[in-house]
Amino acid sequence: MTICAIIVAAGRGTRAGGEIPKQWQRLGARSIAAHAMQPFVDHPEIHTIVLVLHPDDIDSDLWRDTPAALRVTGGDTRKASVMAGLTAVPDGTTQVLIHDAARPLVTAAIIDRVISALKTHQGAAPAVAVTDTLWHGAAGQVTGVQDRSGLYRAQTPQGFHLAPLLAAHHGQTDDATDDVGVARAAGLDVAIVQGDENNIKITTPGDFARATKLMRQDMDIRCGNGYDVHRFGPGDHVWLCGVKVPHGRALQGHSDADVGMHAVTDAIYGALGKGDIGQHFPPSDPQWKGAESHIFLRHAVGLARDQGYQISNVDCTLVCEYPKIGPHQPAMRAALAAIMGLDADRISVKATTSERLGFTGREEGIASIATVTLVKP
């Protein structure tokens, strides 16, 4: 099986409240759509992710926090958007899982069950059996009871073999409410697999509160530290936290020797358990000679994002007698914020002297220590 996940994020729904479509509203540190994509990104049997965006959103920043994916423009209807996604899947794709970007709490177990059922069925989708008693009502009065046996609440991802689903979509003119409807209209068999009560679709403002509460139950929080030192040599400026600071000497190093940015970068690698700068960008490799350190930091931030982590905050301390850091702190925070895609109020740059003690006190070099917190909601 070569499976592609299509995340449909082209809806305009604002019933959930807010100024922007619900899939782009934030749940914790990430957009709902980013949460909805991550379990597919992390799933070993999913080869490709296609993210279907509304034409109005393509040039916006709304989707910038979503994991890497093939991004395509959808249409005005759900059917048009799904078709855009189906058309974009890479050659060789044999099965597709179509998921609603407004379901941020989908799990690997649900995806597993859908994939497993596709081995023996043309289609498969998760659902939860209705357990509440169902009433008919009118004018505020109970008027009857509906037999609930055989009733299910449908969820996504809905999985299909690609060729018959494409044929079903081509043959269908109505805008069915979901792909199971399209598939069944074309005579495909669709298995029901066990869904999850928590795999809710964000529709109303109350759903945000519920989803937030559910997410906190298994939030993954990580902390990392980084430490770096560079020695002084001849020169007329130093790079510190992305800012060029005039100084009577320069810091020496294979790269631009931005000791603060190196400490922050190593803290991120540390939190991820992914080594350090020297491992990812070996000093023995001439291509990194004189490299600007934002390359390293962007790499670490990208690794964190690819694993579903958001950087919650950064705290960096520079240890030196000179240059004086205070006047440059706002620019340093802004520079790190821009590189990391964070608000500057999540970044701290502090400085201290070492009371003239040790190598920093003797002005032989600058040291930096940094701490970061990563959160996977």
> Least distance (Å) from Mg ion to the CB of residue 270?
14
CB atoms within 10 A of CB 101: 29
Report how far residue 261's alpha carbon sits from residue 340's, in angstroms, rounded to the nearest whole number.
Answer: 11
306 DSSP β-pair partners: none
> Least distance (Å) from Mg ion to the CB of residue 112?
43
CB atoms within 10 A of CB 323: 19
> Least distance (Å) from Mg ion to the CB of residue 262?
4
Q: Which residue has the tokens 């400026």?
A: 237
Residue 100 or 228 with smaller CB distance to Mg ion: 228
101 DSSP β-pair partners: none
Residue 86 or 243 with smaller CB distance to Mg ion: 243
Tokens representing 144 are 């009857």
Residue 199 or 293 with smaller CB distance to Mg ion: 293
CA 103 to chain centre: 14
Contact (Cβ atoms closer than 8 angstroms) between residue 264 and residue 372: yes
> Least distance (Å) from Mg ion to the CB of residue 245?
16
Residue 215 or 257 with smaller CB distance to Mg ion: 257
266 forms part of the interface with Mg ion (CB under 5 A): no
Tokens representing 63 are 């989707």
Q: Which one, of 66, 65, 83, lies nearest residue 74 by Cα?
A: 83
Report how far residue 235's alpha carbon sits from residue 223's, in angstroms, rounded to the nearest whole number.
Answer: 35
The only residue of 30, 113, 262, 333 in contact with Mg ion, by rule CB under 5 A: 262
> Least distance (Å) from Mg ion to the CB of residue 360?
15
How many chain residues are in contact with Mg ion, going by CB under 5 A? 2
The window from 183-191, 256-264, 307-315, 332-340 that contacts Mg ion (CB under 5 A) reads 256-264
Contact (Cβ atoms closer than 8 angstroms) between residue 6 and residue 52: yes
Comparing every residue's Cβ against Mg ion, the nearest one is 262
The window from 111-119, 240-248, 262-270, 319-327 that contacts Mg ion (CB under 5 A) reads 262-270
Contact (Cβ atoms closer than 8 angstroms) between residue 310 and residue 320: no
Report how far residue 73's alpha carbon sits from residue 62's, in angstroms, rounded to the nearest whole number.
Answer: 14
> Least distance (Å) from Mg ion to the CB of residue 344?
23
Tokens representing 76 are 């005005």
Report how far residue 364's alpha carbon sits from residue 233's, in angstroms, rounded to the nearest whole number.
Answer: 9
The window from 26-34, 83-91, 258-266, 353-361 that contacts Mg ion (CB under 5 A) reads 258-266
| Cis peptide bond upstream of 157, omega within 30 | yes
Residue 115 or 264 with smaller CB distance to Mg ion: 264
Backbone angles phi, psi at 225, to 5 degrees: -125, 155
> Least distance (Å) from Mg ion to the CB of residue 369?
12
Site string for Mg ion, 171-210 (x = CB under 5 A): ----------------------------------------
| Residue 185 identity (one-letter amino acid) | A
Residue 115 or 229 with smaller CB distance to Mg ion: 229
Which residues ranging from 213 to 232 are in contact with Mg ion (CB under 5 A)?
Answer: 228
> Least distance (Å) from Mg ion to the CB of residue 298?
16
Which residues ranging from 10 to 49 are in contact with Mg ion (CB under 5 A)?
Answer: none
Q: Which one, of 97, 131, 92, lies nearest residue 115 by Cα?
A: 97
> Least distance (Å) from Mg ion to the CB of residue 263?
8
Which residues ranging from 110 to 149 are in contact with Mg ion (CB under 5 A)?
Answer: none
> Least distance (Å) from Mg ion to the CB of residue 358?
18
Residue 179 or 228 with smaller CB distance to Mg ion: 228
Residue 21 or 260 with smaller CB distance to Mg ion: 260
Report how far residue 173's alpha carbon sits from residue 151's, in angstroms, rounded to the nearest whole number.
Answer: 27
Point out which residues bind Mg ion (CB under 5 A): 228, 262
